[in-house]
């Protein structure tokens, strides 16, 4: 892996940073200077060592002791030098030759930058006011749409079909309520899935488990919509098999949806309150389902 630290002489961001990046090679500990341009950041161009960077580091060296890496460098100053310093740091898992590869896009990697005012005694880093990048906004929107659709609305729609039938069976109101929930939820879920594809295409990081379950959820949801279009009449013999198919795919999609929302939250690493809120919703839906399951079975046996 690699670990880097640098200074951005212009703004508090990664693009434009002059960086010192350390890594271990067959020749021992290595430390090179790099220019992290906007093209490198946005277009995934490989980083290459630079003899000269905008910030003229001097006397640089590195000490690696186990998992502790210490980088030393001297920065010449002039009378016109700013007293504030935008310093940036990050780490990654892979180095190809002398080229560090992309870091993760977890929260810790995206907010690893601080501004220090060197003119003040006992200067400390100013708290970072988080500014969402377009990619982070895309991630948040993907999480919101997918979580609301596959993790909440779809389970509610399934509950409506399973537990309201004994109370509304003659009128069929449960069926129309089921459709009113599931069809919009499917549309929102597909929108979230499309954003997931966009996120994958613009990143070197692929979360295979999350992606593959997402494909399965999309396939299951789409099969349910198709099943609605070819739904046999109640008196047709094939209706029994159709019911088994529809319920099996539905329950599988429901479980995968909830599981994948939790996987997505572990990747996104939002504030703890969001994960707590989703857990509370899942527990609440589970508790309601348990109660309604008992009630519907009681009604079933009474009618028998």
Let me know if residue 127 belongs to a domain: no
State the total domains in the chain: 2
Q: Quick one: 102 and 167 in the same domain?
A: no
pLDDT score of 128 more than 60: no
Answer yes or no: is 142 a known binding residue.
Answer: yes
143 inside domain: yes
- The reply to whether 246 sits in an annotated binding site is yes
Containing domain of residue 298, as a range?
134-303
What average pLDDT does the segment 188-216 reach? 88
Q: In sequence order, which residues have a C-beta less than 8 Å from that of residue 22 and are 6 or more positions away? A: 2, 3, 4, 29, 30, 31, 62, 64, 69, 71
Q: Is the pLDDT of residue 260 over 60?
A: yes
Q: What's the average model confidence in pLDDT over 253-275? A: 91
Give the pLDDT confidence score for residue 72 in this predicted structure.
Answer: 93
Note whether 112 and 17 are same-domain residues: yes
Does residue 40 or residue 220 have the better pLDDT?
A: 220
Question: Is 103 marked within a binding site?
Answer: no
User: Domain ends where: 89, 117, 145?
Assistant: 117
Residue 91 lies in a domain: yes
pLDDT in tens, 143-173: 999 999 999 999 999 999 999 887 776 678 8
- In this prediction, residues 53-77 reach a mean pLDDT of 89
The verdict on 143 and 62 lying in the same domain is: no
Better-predicted residue by pLDDT, 211 or 111: 211
Of 3-12, 26-35, 185-194, 205-214, which has the strongest mean pLDDT?
Answer: 185-194
Band of pLDDT at residue 130, cut at 50, 70 and 90: low
Mean pLDDT of the chain, nearest integer: 87
Quick one: pLDDT at residue 51? Answer: 81
pLDDT, tens digit (0-9, with 9 covering 90-100), for 219-236: 999 999 999 888 998 889
Q: 20 lies in a domain?
A: yes
Residue 132 in this model has a pLDDT that exceeds 80: no
Q: Does pLDDT of 93 surpass 90?
A: no
Question: Residue 185: what pLDDT?
Answer: 97
């Amino acid at each position: 892996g690699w670990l880097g630290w640098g200074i951005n002489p212009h703004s508090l961001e990664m693009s434009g940073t002059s960086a010192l990046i350390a890594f271990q090679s067959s020749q021992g500990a290595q430390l090179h200077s790099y220019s992290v341009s906007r093209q490198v950041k946005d277009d995934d161009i490989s980083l290459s060592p630079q003899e000269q960077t905008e910030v003229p580091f001097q006397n640089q060296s590195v000490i690696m002791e186990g998992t502790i890496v210490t980088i030393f460098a001297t920065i010449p100053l002039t009378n016109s030098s700013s007293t504030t310093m935008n310093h940036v740091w990050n780490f990654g898992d892979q180095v190809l030759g002398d080229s560090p590869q992309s870091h993760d896009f977890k929260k810790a990697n995206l907010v690893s930058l601080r501004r220090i005012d060197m003119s003040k005694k006992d200067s400390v880093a100013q708290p970072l006011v988080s500014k969402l990048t377009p990619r982070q906004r895309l991630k948040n929107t993907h999480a919101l749409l997918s979580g609301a659709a596959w993790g909440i609305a779809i389970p509610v729609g399934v509950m409506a079909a399973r537990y309201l039938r004994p109370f509304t069976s003659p009128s069929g109101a449960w069926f129309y309520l089921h459709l009113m929930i599931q069809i919009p939820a499917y549309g929102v879920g597909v929108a979230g899935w499309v954003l997931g594809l966009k996120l994958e295409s613009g990143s070197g990081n692929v979360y295979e488990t999350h992606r593959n379950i997402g494909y399965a959820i999309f396939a299951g949801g789409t099969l349910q919509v198709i099943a609605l279009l070819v739904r046999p009449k109640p008196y047709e013999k094939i209706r029994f098999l159709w019911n088994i198919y529809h319920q099996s795919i539905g329950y599988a999609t429901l479980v995968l949806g909830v599981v994948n929302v939790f996987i997505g939250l572990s990747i996104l690493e939002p504030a703890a309150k969001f994960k707590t809120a989703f857990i509370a919703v899942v527990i609440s839906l589970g508790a309601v389902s348990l109660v309604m399951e008992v009630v519907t079975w009681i009604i079933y046996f009474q009618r028998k």
